[in-house]
Amino acid sequence: MPHDERSTRSADASPNARPLRVLYCRCAYADVVPEDVKDRVLQRLCESGRAFDTVADLCEMSARHDPALNRIAECGGVKIAACYKRAVHGLFEAAGAPLSTDDVHVLNMRTDDADTIADNLLNDGEVDT
């Protein structure tokens, strides 16, 4: 089955709709994101059984201009659990991979509640291609 016809698509979604991917940043190189929030969000993702991408630290990847950031930016349609939206967009731009503002959603683990973030990530939000 082609990925744009997955069963996760809601019944009233347009034929070209696709679910948003999930990207989780562990912020492993610093202690600025509360450990319990990072853990709880990751735990909820793992328990859900759905597929998702993770990175150890978006700052570290941005510093290295990791081409994976380009890939994420090009694909769009992603929910990113990380930190402040302005910082995340800046990190991608600094790596030469500016994010679209239309179909990229940044969830802030520095300020928001873990279960609220996890609920948002696991809700089948969709974006029209």
Partner 1 sequence: MIKATKSPRVRIVLYEGLGADPLDGDSRYRIMRALLERGLTVTCTGPQPADDMTPGTLASVEESVLLVIGRFEGGQPPQVEDAAGRVTLHLLHLTDTDDQAVVQQIDQTLGELDVAVNQPGQWKPWFPVIDYSRCTNCMQCLSFCLFGVYGVDADNKIQVQNNDNCKTDCPACSRVCPEVAIMFPKYSQGPINGDQIREDDLKREAMKVDISSLLGGDIYAQLKQRSSAAKERFAKERDEKRALSERIRCLNKLAGQMDIPKEVLLNLPSQDEIRQRAADAAAKGRAALEAGD
Of residues 7 and 16, the one with the C-beta less far from partner 1:
7
Distance between CA atoms of residues 12 and 61, nearest Å: 38
**Least separation in angstroms between CB 47 and partner 1:** 4
Q: How many CB atoms neighbour CB 96 within 10 A? A: 12
Number of residues that bind partner 1 (CB under 8 A): 56
DSSP string across 89-111: HHHHHHTT-PPPSSSEEEEETTT
Q: Is 16 in the site for partner 1 (CB under 8 A)?
A: no
Q: CB-side exposure of 41: number of CA atoms within 13 Å?
A: 31
| Chain contacts with partner 1 (rule: CB under 8 A) | 1, 3, 6-8, 19, 21-23, 26, 28-30, 32, 39, 42-43, 45-64, 66-68, 71-72, 75, 78, 83-88, 90-91, 93-94, 110-111
